[in-house]
Structure 1
Amino acid sequence: MSKQYINIAIAGLSLSHSEELKNQLRNMIPQDYIIKWITATDPNIDCLFIHETFYETEGIQRIINKKCFPWLKITKHHQQQQLTNNVLNFPVSNHDELTQWLNHHVLNQEQAPEAETVNHIEAHEIDEEYLSEVLNPENHAKLHLFDAYGSIGIAKPDLNTIWIILERKKTGTDSSFSYDLANTDDFMKIYRKEKYILQDWLWNFYWNSPELLKMIAPDDGHFKILSWPKPSDIQNKKLIFQLSAVFIQGAKISKIADHFNISQQLIIRFIATNLAMNNAVKINIWDKHFTPPTPEVQDKKDDQSLIKSFFGKIRKKFGF
């Protein structure tokens, strides 16, 4: 029999408890299978063990409801039954119950063909709701941010704080961007002494992620941003502030592009970044918004400015 892979995620446990559970699972699963320890957001997940504290979080519930795989919620209430109603009492003392559960729910499942696995990865869904969860102030968990290139950092949304992997300090990401509940191993990868304001750092992180932004890029329309960003892009800082001054009032993408002679794709990038940050909303055409003056109105304003300047100089010269 050729060896098969089983992708198992353990989330929310301390490092010691996680290692203890891993050792027990290694002993329960036949050697015909190779265990791969993955994160809860991995699209190839076969089984999840999640601590009860994090089970009700929106991110975990989205994963469980969206994907069909077996899972167990881990508790430490030391009830009489070891395993019941998808709840596993930890530490595991009765290995027979867990072994039976694994045999029935995990080992008997057919492995998906490799081609389907690749398609599943490509279909990894990213939308505004998924991205904005990283900023949800009601989320008290520590989130491990990562992508296909490795760890990015650990965010604490309720404290508006993030710790960054030094190598990812000024980089962006792509469609493989994901997040999961952070564990002790994840914290060992970051430099804890240097932390950033999550809202400010994440705005620049998304701004530097054009492939990611394509997945939420809006069509032409009227948009309004809710607050001013703090860009670190020196080259485009002036432009970002110019767009902020306009879209804080509300404006239409194509009209601003034409009036200020700015690339429409660059404005879409600006709006998409703010949508990812939950810092932009689409407004109706009849809502109050910035409207560039027509050429006739602009010429009239220019003439009035010249006349005012002329009389101002005369008053200054003759002391009127």
Structure 2
Amino acid sequence: MREEIKIAIFGLSLNVLDTIKQKVRLMYDDSLDVSWANIADPHLDILLVNDMFFSSPTIQNLVGAKKVPYLRLVNKNEKSGQIEGDKLYLPFIATDEIRNWFKDRYFDVPVSIKAVNIVNQISKNVDITKVIPELFNERNGNVQIFDGKGNIALASIRTQQVWPDVSRKIQGTDASLNYTYATMQMAQAVSVQQGVDLTSWLWDLLWYSDVVNEKHNSSNCYKLLDWPQPIHQNERQMIFKIAACFERGASIQQVAQKTDYSEAEINRFVSVGLLSQVLKKISADETKLVEKVEQSSGVLRGFFGKLRKKLGL
């Protein structure tokens, strides 16, 4: 009877994932079945995880509470094929060091004390400024978005659509925001329904989260790429006024002067806007903000009339 070892790989693009799977399989002889498992499998033997996502609560539970042997995958060409502590450097090369590590895990040889201690030393939060751009990377296809409080949504990166989890009652997210690749069955289950726009959905998710508020220089200039569509009526006027200024191209300082909103409020808009790709940074000579736009009631009335028509309000 053939024996089995269950391995999960988390947080890699599909082409890198397939390459690693092929090379790992070749390291074991034919007497052993290598089974590629989900990170939720209760009988997981080995976890390989993109270092970017190692701090997420889900992964920390696996390596901390459940003591699943793991390696953090780090891209570093000059160290390719090496293992240092709990880090495996990519591109993946099946060196003797790596072969021995995988075989030791099969024979239940304990991982080093150094690797175990690292789990207790790291931050429990990931850098979501590195996670969010992956939600716009078409190579990722269909992804399941989640955080420490549970599932958030399924997204199709290629079609830029999102299907929010209707059972989730929590607005916003936190620094545990993460994603994993969705199964074909999950994608097919929502394909008959119309999703919501990824950019608009992501803007709202981040706007109602305390985790996004990077400090930007007040002289930095930005231009609006897409209009946000805030959920709550009482915040729409502020958000639309700020967006209207950035539609022409403006600095944070200029928008503060034109709207009388604080630079902190505008800075928050910029932080969320850059991450959700509704805003881009421009040079000062590209700014075209009309002087004293807020002092002209006629301009404002005309602007809000056009805005209501554009957004169907």
TM class by shorter chain equals 0.5 to 0.7
**Residue 143 of structure 1 contacts residue 180 of structure 1 at CA under 8 Å; is this kept in 2?**
yes
- How has the CA–CA distance of structure 1 residues 197 and 262 changed in structure 2, closer, same or farther, with 3 Å as cutoff? same
Normalised by the length of structure 1, the TM-score is 0.59
1:205: Cα distance to partner? Answer: 0.8
* Matches of 2:94 and 2:34, distance apart in 1: 24
The amino acid across from 2:267 in the alignment is: I
Q: Does structure 1 residue 69 correspond to structure 2 residue 88?
A: yes
Q: Does structure 1 residue 246 correspond to structure 2 residue 228?
A: no
Aligned to 1:124: 126
- How has the CA–CA distance of structure 1 residues 118 and 194 changed in structure 2, closer, same or farther, with 3 Å as cutoff? farther
Aligned to 1:267: 266
Alignment of 1:1-320 (within 5 A): 9-10=8-9, 20-21=35-36, 35=45, 41-43=53-55, 44=60, 46-47=69-70, 64-65=74-75, 68-69=87-88, 85=94, 101-103=102-104, 107=109, 109-112=111-114, 116-122=118-124, 124-127=126-129, 130-136=131-137, 138-139=138-139, 141-168=141-168, 171-183=171-183, 193=193, 195-211=195-211, 213-214=212-213, 216-220=214-218, 221-290=220-289, 292-293=291-292
What SS does structure 2 have at the residue aligned with 1:175? coil
Normalised by the length of structure 2, the TM-score is 0.60
1:85: Cα distance to partner? Answer: 3.7
What per-residue deviation string (whole Å, max 9, x for no partner) do you get for residues 104-134 of structure 1? 799464144776424423462232x531220
The amino acid across from 1:135 in the alignment is: F
Q: Please, what is the CA RMSD of the aligned residues?
A: 4.5
* Matches of 2:185 and 2:34, distance apart in 1: 11
Aligned to 2:29: none
Ranges in structure 2 where 5+ consecutive residues have no aligned partner:
1-5, 18-32, 64-68, 77-85, 298-313
What per-residue deviation string (whole Å, max 9, x for no partner) do you get for residues 176-195 of structure 1? 11112224797799898563
The amino acid across from 1:218 in the alignment is: H
- How has the CA–CA distance of structure 1 residues 99 and 115 changed in structure 2, closer, same or farther, with 3 Å as cutoff? closer
* Matches of 1:188 and 1:121, distance apart in 2: 36
- How has the CA–CA distance of structure 1 residues 70 and 290 changed in structure 2, closer, same or farther, with 3 Å as cutoff? closer
Larger radius of gyration between Structure 1 and Structure 2: 1
- How has the CA–CA distance of structure 1 residues 182 and 217 changed in structure 2, closer, same or farther, with 3 Å as cutoff? farther
- How has the CA–CA distance of structure 1 residues 169 and 162 changed in structure 2, closer, same or farther, with 3 Å as cutoff? farther
Ranges in structure 1 where 5+ consecutive residues have no aligned partner:
1-6, 49-61, 74-83, 87-97, 303-320
**Residue 153 of structure 1 contacts residue 190 of structure 1 at CA under 8 Å; is this kept in 2?**
no
Runs of at least 4 residues of structure 1 off by over 4 A? 18-23, 34-40, 70-73, 104-108, 111-115, 184-194
What per-residue deviation string (whole Å, max 9, x for no partner) do you get for residues 220-274 of structure 1? 2222122222222322112211111110111121232233221222211111111
**Residue 274 of structure 2 contacts residue 280 of structure 2 at CA under 8 Å; is this kept in 1?**
yes
1:19: Cα distance to partner? Answer: 10
The amino acid across from 1:209 in the alignment is: S
What SS does structure 2 have at the residue aligned with 1:158? coil
Residue identity over aligned pairs, in percent, reads: 22
Which stretch shifts more, 260-269 or 104-113?
A: 104-113
* Matches of 2:109 and 2:288, distance apart in 1: 59
Number of residues of Structure 1 aligned to a counterpart in Structure 2? 243
**Residue 134 of structure 2 contacts residue 140 of structure 2 at CA under 8 Å; is this kept in 1?**
no
